[in-house]
Chains A and B, each alone.
Chain A
């Protein structure tokens, strides 16, 4: 057995310099990003699916042939909204529920992880993923000539959609809190698919069920995206109302999830 000499047997001080605290948050984010990039099950749907389906539906269903530029922008912004929904719902819904059940959450609480570092890293990763996914989508639209949006508008959209990912993080959190690790994947998938269709993201819904959109956070985010892109389409309310509803939904979903987690602990 090799003798091991420890220069300092143990920490004599429990104070954490600010520099190291910032570093801890940065490390949490770095490794969260690495995990995503190494996990195709998360990276591919998040980064590639919006563009894949945009191109597929654009060609198959003739959306790219529409003569009205507003109609083309409508479809594009529908898929951009989809890009904003995906990472939050899956990372928080499925990812976090799994990590909780695998004991990782408990271990990190027992280790001196800085308060909120894991949530910070997950949210930051979602925002970065949304911006990347929107960039890929916009690039495809520009290459195909199916969007006529100014670069500044595209930048504004990327910013809006990145922040707009937060309500979906909260929704994922709530679904994961109720479904647990095993139930989270199917529940999040079903909610996600239903929301994609029932928010009227890609085409206006049939009149009989058109009003259902008001319960979907995706609808409000899509409306905001349409506003930023100067596409006239607001069905209900204006920008303040849409922002307000999304903020209220975020608070509601988070509160319900936290209560549920507290009870489980």
Chain B
């Protein structure tokens, strides 16, 4: 994918009221350039999913926005100011790989986090909002992995944040809990909060994000709505059961790749219809025909593999 095409997907999203921004930011660790002239703006009331392979610079970008790191060059703004404790009082944060004390109860962890904010939710409001009422009186060490994530989510929400940073929020959650968390996130966004979501779980970005930013090697390589990002990858996948050998199919016009997965022949094509016509003509016994357009995951793989 040429960079110029990628840029075409960039659209004017609701950035009239910016709540956080990295402007031409550069950050290096020793000889490694973590962020290279990155500009990232988060608008008020916007849910932005930041995607990228490991090492793309997502965590560094978030740490800069939170004021945990300082940029070597460029500007960081949080509600129009350099990030300090005062600006952080309008943030909520959910991080990955945080171990909270197993000896405190879930509600005690939330109570402590809530004490850092000027006007936090009361515990019962928060349990209604996040659905953790059933286990918030248990010791944190006795909770399951998914329940711990839900408690951390409640801690992120407790101060009524204007901007919420969520790093892989639903890892380890069962489907009802995940659905519930997504619903809460949508409620918050509907009421005007902004959310920055980093996830490897592209279904999550697809379900929630107004805008997707794809990063690789410390740069932004694409941004746009989920639909726009998907459209950057014009390919489709044809799946069928056929006796036609892959070598023969690879030689056909318009066929980019052929593989066999679980007995299904899968063809990656730019235009599906001519290939489907030819397949049906060549194999009268062809069965289980299915055509899929590229999902966000396909687009992501395609966008990042060339970087």
Contacts and interface: CB of A to CB of B under 8 A. Distances in A.
B160 A113 contact: no
Contacts of A1: 179-180, 183
Interface residues of A, number: 36
A111 B119 contact: no
Contact of B118 (A7, A13, A39): A13
Given A11-B160, A103-B95, A106-B95, A28 B192 contact: no
A206 interface: no
A14 interface: yes
B123 to A, nearest CB: 13
Contact of B99 (A13, A39, A102, A111): A102
A113 B116 contact: yes
A15 B118 contact: yes
A112 B95 contact: no
Interface in B50-89: 66, 68, 79, 85-89
Nearest to A105: B98
Q: Interface residue tally of chain B, by bracket?
A: 35 or more
A1 B97 CA distance: 29
A16 B191 contact: no
Given A24-B115, A106-B95, A112-B88, A4 B100 contact: no
Interface stretch (B31-39, B104-112, B271-279, B281-289): B104-112
A9 interface: yes
Contact of B68 (A8, A23, A110, A114): A110
Contact of A111 (B88, B125, B180): B88
Contacts of A28: 112, 115
A154 to B, nearest CB: 32
A13 to B, nearest CB: 6
A236 interface: no
Nearest to A28: B112
Interface of A: 1-2, 4, 6-11, 13-17, 20, 23-24, 27-28, 31, 34-35, 38-39, 102-104, 106-107, 109-115
The 8 closest A-B pairs by CB, nearest first: A9-B191, A102-B99, A103-B98, A27-B115, A38-B103, A112-B88, A14-B89, A24-B115
Given A17-B118, A38-B104, A112-B116, 14 more contacts: A7-B125, A9-B160, A11-B117, A14-B87, A14-B90, A24-B115, A27-B112, A35-B104, A39-B103, A103-B96, A104-B99, A106-B98, A109-B68, A110-B66
